[in-house]
Each structure stands twice: as C-alpha cells, then as structure tokens.
Amino acid sequence: MSDRLKTVGETLIDLLEANGVDTVFGIPGVHTVELYRGLAASRIRHITPRHEQGAGFMADGYARVSGKPGVCLVITGPGLTNIITPMAQAYQDSVPMLVISGVNARATLGHGRGRLHELPDQQAMIATLALMSHTLHDPNDLASVMERAFAILRSGRPGPVHIEIPTDVMVLTIELPHLHRPAVSRPRADATAMAEAASLCLEARRPVILVGGGGVAAGADIRALAERLDAPLVTTTNARGAFARHPLSVPASPSLVAVRRLLAEADLVLAFGTQMGQTDYDMYATNDFPVLGNLIRIDIDATQLARGPQATLSLLSSAENAAADLLDAVKPGQPRPRNGAQRAEATRSEALAEMTPKIRVEIGILEIIRDTLPGVIIVGDSTQAVYAGNLYYEAGRPNGWFNAATGYGALGYGPPAAVGAAIADPQAPVVCLTGDGGLQFTLAEIGSARDAGANVIFLVWNNDGYGEIETYMVENGIEPEGVKPTAPDFLKIAEAYGLPSKRLAHVDELPAALTAMRRVDGPSLIEIHQLNTIGATA
C-alpha cells in the first residue's frame, strides 16, 4: 500500500496522534479490530479495562488530571451502551471525553434484521448526552470530523463527543490527510463588559469569589485577583485544592450555612466556571440558597449563563481569559476591600463547626491521607468519607480531589477513574477512596490497575453495605431494606490479583500503611472498617 494510502482505521490512529493523544482505553472486539490495525505501531498506549464502563471512567480520571481529552474505543451495541454511564458523568461534570465506536455496515443500518450488536438507531440514542455524535458514512470525511470533534473538546464547555464508524468504512483506504493539530480559540468577553466587571470589583467592599471546576485551569490568575481584591475564595467540589491552604481559601460547600452567610453578606460575588447546581449549592434540597445581590457570572457556555441564579452581569468567556483580563484591569495598589482573610477564616471555622463529630472524624482521615502523601490525588466513589470531604476538605493540589458523589453520581466510578488518574500522572500518589458496596460495582478494575502498573492505593472504607443509604432510610422512618450486600474478603481479592494488602485494626495505623504502600511499584489495597475510625482526631 502507498505511504499516502491507509485504511480509515490506520488513519484514525494517525489523527489521534496528531492531536496529542497518548493513551486510549478500550476492549477490542470484532466491530473495532480494524481501528486497532495501526495502534501497535503508534506511540499511543492502550489500556484494557475489564468492562467498557471502566474504560469511560478511566478516561474521565485521565482527563481531569492530564487536562487532555480521555479517548475510548468501544464496540457497537453493548460496548457503547456500557459506556453511557461514564459519558453521562462526563457530561454533568464537563469532562472532555472522545468515544469512538463501531457500528454495523452502512447498508444494514435502520433495517432491524438482527445483526450482531444491532441497535435501532445507535447514533440517535447517544446524541442525547453527547456534545456531538456523528456517523462516518464517507471515509473521506474522517479528517474534518476529527477536527470538529477536537475543536468542540478544546474550545467550549467540555463533555463527551462520539464518533461511530461503520465496519465497512473502517477497512476502506483513503489518502492520508495533512496531519496537524488545528488551532482553537476560547471565548473572551468584550472589552466593554470586562471594564464594567472591573469597575464592580473595585467598588466592592465585601467581595467573594466562587470557583467551580471550570475555573481550576485559571487558578494562578484567580488567586492573584483574589489577593488584589482581598476576596475569600470559595471552591466547589471539583475545584478543591486550586488554592490549597491559602489564607483566602474556603474549601467548604456552598450548601453549608456558614458559606451561605458569607455569600449573603457579600456586596459582590464573582463566579468562575461553576454550574451552580444542586449537588454543590443545595445538596440538602432546602431550596433556601440566598439571593445574591450583585453576581458577576463567568462561564464558557452561553446556555449555562441563562440557568441558575440571576446575574447582574453575565460574561461569556473562558475562566482563563476572564481572569487574565480582570487581573489586567484591577491594578495593584488600587483601593481594595478589607478583612478578606479574616472573613475566610471565620467562615472556615464556622463551617467546620457545623459538621457532626462523625463527619469531622472523616474529614480528619482525609487530612491524614493528604499530609502523609504530599501531592496526593484522592479519587472518590460515593461513600460516607467522600460525602464528608465534599462538605469540607482542602485538597493539597489542583485536581487533587474529585469523585462521583456530585452531578450524575455513579457508583463504581472511583476505582477505574483512579487508574486513569495514575496513568495521567504516574509520579503522583493516587488514593482511590471507595466503599465496600461501591467497589463491588467495578471490583475487576483492580486487575486492570495491575495490568497497567498503575500506582493506586485502593482504600476500602468498609461500613458493611450501603451505609449512607441505610442512614437516610432510618432518618426518614423507612425500614432499611436492600442495603446489606455481602462483600468478599477484599484482602483475598487483592491476593488473587497479586496486590499487597493490609486490613487496619485502627485508623492510627493509616499513616504507616499509606507510607508502606506508596513504596509499592503498582497497585495495592488497604481496608479499614468504619467502626475502627472511632476515636480518630478530626
């Protein structure tokens, strides 16, 4: 075959490389093997999960830590339906994910003749939760479709993008297109709007800055802006660690009374890249989030600006562009409000005081992990200690705390997402904090971690079932039912996969166990029973 002629599958790999992709997650099948034809000769690393759901969650964790889109290759039909849950999680949390799937031959689509892995309309099904879903009918469209996909992933609000390639298209030969990484631009508010925003900032005497996951990449400029304005920095779950231990940092949920009081008393609230949705701002569903009298909202998504609290000024801009422009307009040495650090300290103290003794213990355990393993990335599942951290926890680094207990809230997220995080940053310590119930959703991904050599410490928080749901049922006068799934012996599971493991008799053993497992080359497992955390210092 000519050097300028390659199959669609081979060209796909070339285009992924040209766009900076270094890792893909997937399980090959007869409906995707032609997409693998050029993979072995490329510089792209392939990670094999045990389930396509694991592939999607790995891509999610990889994307959050690397800042690059997580890429998945999945078969038509069950492969794609298995990855729908991770795609929905990525959609809710604005995580860039490219899912490339097979689909049956073009001539068979829509006829319902019982082909293997056939769906009535696969592209229409996935389009409801993808920023883009495209079926490649013409092989010569491959380069332009890929360019459009990466433009969407890089220029606007991130999320999942889907491309499906019919099996008869994969094998066709096309002339190799020009391989390049197209330049993209991100939205920037006009100068008049930015001048108005700067004027409001300079006039404010009690400003507060809200930062969501969309603001993390602009962390340095937002921090500098907060210092010039002397404004407390309130971070949502996905932004924790962006301002680690800064005197202005308030690593507490806007659902808490103390944080709401801070916001209600502010004469200006500047919100960067936050959806302002229920799981961060009203997790108890009390419907009494305060009206913000002077809100400047900055978001990369115009539709998002039209949702949620009414803003005094809405700026369609990336957080990076807006923070840089505001920082340029708010010059050092200009009059600024006072007592920002004192307001932040008071809010931190009051927010922590709202926590029950049990929650304070759980927060203290998170701090043990953070302080024992500097630079740690804690990837959580939906478990009690993670809920506690979402209420109040200061991660030690940007992107050092994320989980599935917000937004879509998918159980089983933690283990594969932690593998993806470890692949994205192999030098960082990564701890997967997961419950005995949640771990069983994706238990087999321990084996994937072993295959990939991912340096993940699986920390199993064992509370004998779905403890959070059981507590909720009891508090609401419901006889608990269905909340006691039998767990395996996790140490024996770890042994079966060849992982070193340890069961702790008391939380006091945790620092030494973490230190020992950090020395392991590859994954390891620690189990602690919730009852053995009693008496821990918060």
* Domain limits, CATH 3.40.50.970, in the chain: 5-175, 355-533
The rounded distance, in Å, linking the Cα atoms of 163 and 123 is 9
pLDDT in tens, 78-131: 999 999 999 999 999 999 999 999 988 877 877 778 776 777 788 888 999 999
Token representation of residue 303: 């539709």
Residue 65 has pLDDT above 70, yes or no: yes
C-alpha angle with apex 529: 523 to 531, nearest 5 degrees?
Answer: 155
C-alpha angle with apex 520: 447 to 373, nearest 5 degrees?
Answer: 110
The rounded distance, in Å, linking the Cα atoms of 528 and 412 is 18
**φ and ψ at 324, to 5 degrees?**
-65, -40
Q: Give pLDDT, residue 64.
A: 97
Token pair 């940053």: residue: 425
Residue 281 has pLDDT above 60, yes or no: yes
Q: Give pLDDT, residue 331.
A: 85
Confidence tier at 538 by pLDDT (50, 70, 90): very low
Q: Give pLDDT, residue 108.
A: 81
**Domain 191-349 belongs to what topology?**
Rossmann fold (3.40.50)
pLDDT in tens, 230-278: 999 999 999 999 999 999 999 999 999 999 999 999 999 999 999 998 8
Asked: is 355-533 a CATH 3.40.50.720 domain? The reply is: no
Q: Give pLDDT, residue 111.
A: 77
Tell me the CATH number for domain 5-175. 3.40.50.970
DSSP string, 479-511: ---S--PPPP-HHHHHHHTT--EEEESSGGGHH
Flag the least confident range among 13-17, 102-106, 157-161: 102-106
Handedness of CA 98, 100, 101, 107 (dihedral sign): positive
Report CA-CA distances (Å) from 452 to 37, 48, 415. Answer: 21, 8, 13
Token representation of residue 517: 């497992």
536: amino acid identity, one letter:
A
CB-based contact 106:139 (threshold 8 Å)? no
The rounded distance, in Å, linking the Cα atoms of 392 and 387 is 9
Residue 3 neighbours by CB distance under 10 Å? 6
The rounded distance, in Å, linking the Cα atoms of 149 and 140 is 15
Residue 145 has pLDDT above 90, yes or no: yes
C-alpha angle with apex 526: 525 to 529, nearest 5 degrees?
Answer: 140
Residue 153 neighbours by CB distance under 10 Å? 24
Of 239, 274, 279, 271, whose CA–CA distance to 255 is shortest? Answer: 279
pLDDT in tens, 315-360: 999 999 999 999 999 988 765 667 999 999 999 999 999 999 999 9
* Domain limits, CATH 3.40.50.1220, in the chain: 191-349
The separation between the first and the last C-alpha atoms of the chain, rounded to the nearest angstrom, is 66
334: amino acid identity, one letter:
Q
Token pair 């959050």: residue: 64
**Rounded mean pLDDT of 269-289?**
91
Handedness of CA 100, 104, 105, 111 (dihedral sign): negative
The rounded distance, in Å, linking the Cα atoms of 393 and 175 is 53
CA atoms within 13 A on the CB side of 209: 33
More confident residue, 422 or 538: 422
Report CA-CA distances (Å) from 253 to 211, 280, 434, 469. Answer: 11, 6, 21, 21
Residue 477 neighbours by CB distance under 10 Å? 6
Q: Where are the alpha helices (DSSP H) in 267-318?
A: 278-281, 302-305
Token pair 């099904």: residue: 125
Token representation of residue 108: 């068979």
C-alpha angle with apex 352: 350 to 354, nearest 5 degrees?
Answer: 75
As a whole number, the mean pLDDT across the chain is: 93
pTM summary value: 0.94
